[in-house]
Amino acid sequence: MAKKQKSKPAILDLRKPHFKSFYYLLFAFFILVFAVSMITSDGASIRAALFEDDTDSFMDHYNSVVYNEVDDPYEILVVYPPLASLLYKVCNLSIPSDDYYSLVTDPSELAQSRILRIRQSFVFQFLIYAIVAMLIFLAALCLLKKGSSAEKAFFAAVTFISFPFLYMADRGNNVLLPVAFTIIFLVLYKHENKFMRELGLISLAVAIGLKLYPVAFLLILIGDKRYKELARELVYVFVLLILPFFVFYNGIPSMMLMLRNLLGFDAKRTNEFNMAGPLDFKRMFFFLYGGLRKFTGITIEDNMREVYANVCRYGLSAICGIGAIFSKKMWKRTMLLAAVIYGFPGSASTYILLFMVIPTALFLDEEDKPSFKNYLYLFLIAMTQVPFIMKSGGVYDRYYPTKLSSMAVLGLVLLELIDMIVAVVVWSENRKVSGKPFWKTLWNLIMDSLFRKTPKAPAPVTVSGAEAPVETGALPDPAEAPQEAGVPAGVSPKEGGGGE
Amino acid sequence: MKKFSLKPDPDKVYYRQVFFFAMTVLCLSFFVVLLFSGGYSMRGLLASDINGSFMEFFGNLFHSGGNTYASGAVTAPFAILFYRGLFAFLPSGLTSQIVPSLSSATVPVEVKTYQQFYFPFILYTFLVILLMFFSLRAIKAGGKIEKIAFVTLIFLSGPVIFAFERGSDMPVTLALLVFFFFLKDSEKKVMRNIGVAALGFACAFSIYPLLFLIVLLRKKRFWDAGKALIVFTVLTVPAIFLVCGGLQGLGVYASNLVTAWKENNLTLLGQLNFPKCLINILADAEVSGETLVTAGNVFGLVIGLPALIGACLAKKEWQQTALICALIFGLSPVCETTLLMFFALPLVQLIDGENKNSPVSYVSLGFITVALAPLVSPDVTSRSYTRMFYTRVTSYGVLVLAAMLTIVAAVDFIKGLGKKAPVEESAAQKETSVLPSVQ
């Protein structure tokens, strides 16, 4: 009688990807630690998750609603685009005037009375806004995330307990809507139905109209060579971002005021190793330099520090932009866009990391190669969101959680840089085989990437320690994942040319 | 090519279209009126306590940390255990500073100015929205857009908005009941058991869902009903001893329920249960208070008992569910607007399951839609918005619905007596097959 062969349990089979298990177990661990710390610390560990001022919950929303009572809120330092301002204006109009004027004396005051959160008439508009925003977000998440309803619900639950989401909820910030509309764009912009495709484009324009950050996602259309869609998108952005200035506010003066307010918006943190809060790309340099100086004594001249910081800022942003255009995997493109949204502006905020939910969902659904590099990517993506608790100087605060998430973003960008370097090395080896001059080959590469169809691939060259790339002539794939071409080679003309 | 015609096709049913159209118009009207009235129309839907937003949640939260029933609370024991879990996240120092007495009937509204107290509220709200979203999305048949539209309309319905504004935990109960109805007839035994367990959870969280055991008993699923009761017992009994002060606490809880019933009967503000529907009509008559209350209670029995029998005999599942929901609302000791949200259950059964056009079904759909819609209207005399219009329309709507469906159940039962047994079997099979099966 033949012996039955015992099959290995699926979870132990390392030839198969276990990304979902890895991600959820990682999150479960941190959630458990957070919950236990909340109880054992008598609630003190909440300081690691939420805004420093413990009497300011939801005030991003309430303040914005009050600011928009005036005719031109940009005169009182509002930084939101006009679509968001109009949304707050509508919320303002739904508050009875007798209640409103009993609590609001000066709408231009930066910090409004915290008592607003007690009065039903103020609470009601916030409640409706929150319900609608959550529904749109959940609907978008269900569209994005594949799998059964139980899996979608589980993913949503994990997202809700992530630090960016908790921080956003505590602040009452409106970033949830731009994230939701960006997700809808990503789901619909390649839909087979023309109406749905337009809806996707309009969704991105709405997202940009609510908060400028999603403008980075225009690079998705560039990377896909969808230039006709890009042109239409710019029209929608004009209608939803620029036109409202002229229709509802004072036109160009209001626009200039908003830009002035945005440029002046800075967290005003110290540029030292002990600086509080999240780190944008520039502050990452100062933070790391501060650490280097503290532990090794190495110093940089004062006048060069700012230069290097800007190099860091623009350099890392460039890596993100290039990767977002040329990378083949959507999860990687969206991850880099989320990173540049977080790192490029002058002031990083924890809730901006909510955009990382997009590459997380895409990674878990799409990635099927169980390589060490991919697990590292997933680990770092998770680190941008996990509820991480650690004392700093004997007290619970946001120092370590924000540094962890910021360094995780940096790590993701640097991993992409390594991928790019490997891809360039492989490509240059292939160029030698083709015999063409370097600059001509580079020019052809750029043109092919942005405009033309995929050229014929010359014979592949194996670089030592790397797998043979699948496509060459264009920028070949990085060593570990040859299918991740630096150029979207193999993209069909219809998909790349911005079809109807 | 088919010609477009406004004439209804007699072979098709239009319950879905009628509901979506009516509810969308009513919800949109609510928000349009809200803007045009400068926000004042919200007072036609929300509770009159203008500083009481979310205070049901905070009340339950802080009371759970002390001697809960000493405050007069009527929260179920397992729900108190749930709140006690959230209470563990609160800093004790700040709690004792802001809320000196955890057993006091009222909790200071200043709790709503502290982040530490909002944190468990945020977690709780996420849980509620998640449960409601996915449960309603699962049970509703149709495409993605239809499901999302249905979920949105339920979230923007009058009782749900009211519940969220008060911080009521009734949405949790609704979500659990939706899971029960979605899974109870699943082809997979594990899923059926989960559905039955969900009913047990719902009963433990709020005792009202105990009436839904009728659904299982009517189909002679006695063992399933027993399982639900076991889950209810397993959750409730430890809670009684852990956080409610044991049997003595249970006695106080029962006493609180009776007190709430009596106090509720003395006021005609707010929703009207069955007894108060009559009391309200007779209030202007020169009748003594005691006589009024007695008449009201008798009226409640006159409507309630036949409705209960009707729920046991109803031929169609949506009619049974609607009668149970009406009973919960009409006989509740503390008749609240939040109880109206249970009508989402017969609603989804009707619009997805009913495949015959009948006046009774369309009229019932109308009443159910009215029970769910956020209806506001200014008071004729004072020209200001009060809850009078909303509470009267919904309360009497439920009363008429209960009476109508009771009569329908009775007529169907009498008709059924004259027919053979196989007809009843095929009806039961039909009720099972119209529900969406679990994937």
Segment A194-201 mean pLDDT: 96
**What are the boundaries of each domain within chain A?**
16-48+268-437, 53-177+235-265, 438-496
Q: Each residue of A377-391: pLDDT tens digit? A: 999 999 999 999 888
Which residues touch A314 (CB under 8 Å, ≥6 apart)? Answer: none
Q: In chain B, how many domains are there?
A: 1
Distance of residue B11 Cα from the nearest chain A Cα, in angstroms? 31
The predicted pLDDT at position A16 comes to 79
Q: Each residue of A443-490: pLDDT tens digit? A: 777 777 666 554 445 545 544 444 444 333 334 444 433 333 333 333
- B152 to chain A: closest CA residue: A135
Question: Which residue in A57, A121, A143 is closest to B42 by CB distance?
Answer: A121
- Rounded Cα gap, residues A441 and A437, in angstroms: 6
- Rounded Cα gap, residues A177 and A215, in angstroms: 14
User: Between these two residues, A171 and A479, which has the higher pLDDT value?
Assistant: A171
Helices (H), A145-217: 149-160, 163-171, 176-188, 194-210
Global pTM reads 0.88
Instruction: Place A72 in a pLDDT band, splitting at 50, 70 and 90.
Output: confident
The predicted pLDDT at position A486 comes to 36
- Rounded Cα gap, residues A393 and A399, in angstroms: 10
End-to-end CA, chain A: 63
Place of tokens 């006493």: B255
A93: chain B residues, CB-CB within 8 Å: 35, 38-39
User: Between these two residues, B397 and A437, which has the higher pLDDT value?
Assistant: B397
User: Between these two residues, A416 and A441, which has the higher pLDDT value?
Assistant: A416
Using DSSP, state whether A484 is helix, strand or coil.
coil
Residue B151 touches chain A, beta carbons under 8 Å:
yes
The predicted pLDDT at position A17 comes to 84
User: Between these two residues, B347 and A467, which has the higher pLDDT value?
Assistant: B347
User: Between these two residues, A105 and A355, which has the higher pLDDT value?
Assistant: A355
- Rounded Cα gap, residues A327 and A320, in angstroms: 10
User: Between these two residues, A76 and B221, which has the higher pLDDT value?
Assistant: B221
Comparing C-alpha atoms, which of B187, B221, B184, B219 is closest to residue B202?
Answer: B184
The predicted pLDDT at position A9 comes to 58
Q: Which DSSP string corresponds to B89-154?
A: TS-HHHHHHH-S-TTSSS--GGGGG-HHHHHHHHHHHHHHHHHHHHHHHHHS-S-HHHHHHHHHHH
Q: Each residue of B301-313: pLDDT tens digit? A: 999 999 999 999 9
B70 domain residue, yes or no: yes
For chain A, what is the mean pLDDT? 84
Segment B400-410 mean pLDDT: 96
B39: chain A residues, CB-CB within 8 Å: 93-97, 99, 121, 124-125
User: Between these two residues, A453 and B284, which has the higher pLDDT value?
Assistant: B284
Determine whether the interchain pair B92/A115 forms a contact, defined as Cβ–Cβ distance below 8 Å. no
The predicted pLDDT at position A12 comes to 63
Instruction: Place B6 in a pLDDT band, splitting at 50, 70 and 90.
Output: low
Distance of residue B20 Cα from the nearest chain A Cα, in angstroms? 18
The predicted pLDDT at position A48 comes to 87
Q: CA A394, A396, A399, A403: dihedral to nearest 10 degrees?
A: 110
The predicted pLDDT at position A266 comes to 57
- Rounded Cα gap, residues B414 and B219, in angstroms: 19
Residue B152 touches chain A, beta carbons under 8 Å:
yes
Segment A147-171 mean pLDDT: 94
Instruction: Place A395 in a pLDDT band, splitting at 50, 70 and 90.
Output: confident
Residue A346 buriedness (CB in 10 A; 0-12 / 13-18 / 19+)? middle
- Rounded Cα gap, residues B9 and A471, in angstroms: 59
The predicted pLDDT at position B1 comes to 53
Q: CA B153, B158, B163, B165: dihedral to nearest 10 degrees?
A: 100
Instruction: Find how far residue B411's CA is from the centre of its chain.
Output: 27
Do residues B317 and B389 touch, judged by C-beta distance below 8 A? no
Question: Does the interface predicted TM-score (ipTM) exceed 0.85?
Answer: yes
- Rounded Cα gap, residues A404 and A383, in angstroms: 7
Which residues touch B65 (CB under 8 Å, ≥6 apart)? Answer: B84, B87, B90, B95, B102
Q: Each residue of A229-282: pLDDT tens digit? A: 999 999 999 999 999 999 999 899 999 999 888 877 655 555 566 677 899 999
B40: chain A residues, CB-CB within 8 Å: 96
Determine whether the interchain pair B119/A156 forms a contact, defined as Cβ–Cβ distance below 8 Å. no
Determine whether the interchain pair A94/B113 forms a contact, defined as Cβ–Cβ distance below 8 Å. no
Determine whether the interchain pair A166/B122 forms a contact, defined as Cβ–Cβ distance below 8 Å. yes
Size of interface A-B (CB pairs under 8 A): 137
Q: Each residue of B13-50: pLDDT tens digit? A: 999 999 999 999 999 999 999 999 999 999 999 988 88
User: Between these two residues, B142 and A270, which has the higher pLDDT value?
Assistant: B142
Instruction: Place A93 in a pLDDT band, splitting at 50, 70 and 90.
Output: very high
Determine whether the interchain pair B148/A139 forms a contact, defined as Cβ–Cβ distance below 8 Å. yes
Model confidence at B262: pLDDT above 90: no
Supply the DSSP symbol for B70.
G
B2 domain residue, yes or no: no
Residue B38 phi, psi dihedral angles, 5° rounding: 65, 25
- Count other Cβ atoms within 10 Å, centred on residue B177: 28
Determine whether the interchain pair A157/B130 forms a contact, defined as Cβ–Cβ distance below 8 Å. yes
Determine whether the interchain pair B155/A96 forms a contact, defined as Cβ–Cβ distance below 8 Å. no
Determine whether the interchain pair A43/B40 forms a contact, defined as Cβ–Cβ distance below 8 Å. no
Instruction: Place A440 in a pLDDT band, splitting at 50, 70 and 90.
Output: confident
User: Between these two residues, A393 and A492, which has the higher pLDDT value?
Assistant: A393
Model confidence at A22: pLDDT above 90: yes
Length of chain A: 500
Do residues B46 and B162 touch, judged by C-beta distance below 8 A? yes
B122: chain A residues, CB-CB within 8 Å: 166, 169-170
B102 domain residue, yes or no: yes
User: Between these two residues, A93 and A491, which has the higher pLDDT value?
Assistant: A93
The predicted pLDDT at position A429 comes to 78
Q: Each residue of B145-160: pLDDT tens digit? A: 999 999 999 999 999 9
Do residues A432 and A476 touch, judged by C-beta distance below 8 A? no
Do residues A343 and A370 touch, judged by C-beta distance below 8 A? no
Model confidence at A339: pLDDT above 90: yes
Percentage of residues in chain A having pLDDT higher than 90? 57
Residue B53 touches chain A, beta carbons under 8 Å:
yes
Residue type, A419: D
The predicted pLDDT at position B292 comes to 82
Q: Each residue of B420-439: pLDDT tens digit? A: 555 444 444 444 444 443 33
Q: Which domain holds residue B279?
A: 15-434
Q: Tokens representing B81?
A: 């255990």
For chain B, what is the mean pLDDT? 88
Using DSSP, state whether A395 is helix, strand or coil.
strand
Distance of residue A233 Cα from the nearest chain B Cα, in angstroms? 24
Determine whether the interchain pair A94/B35 forms a contact, defined as Cβ–Cβ distance below 8 Å. yes
Determine whether the interchain pair B89/A121 forms a contact, defined as Cβ–Cβ distance below 8 Å. no
Q: Each residue of A342-370: pLDDT tens digit? A: 999 977 789 999 999 999 999 999 998 88
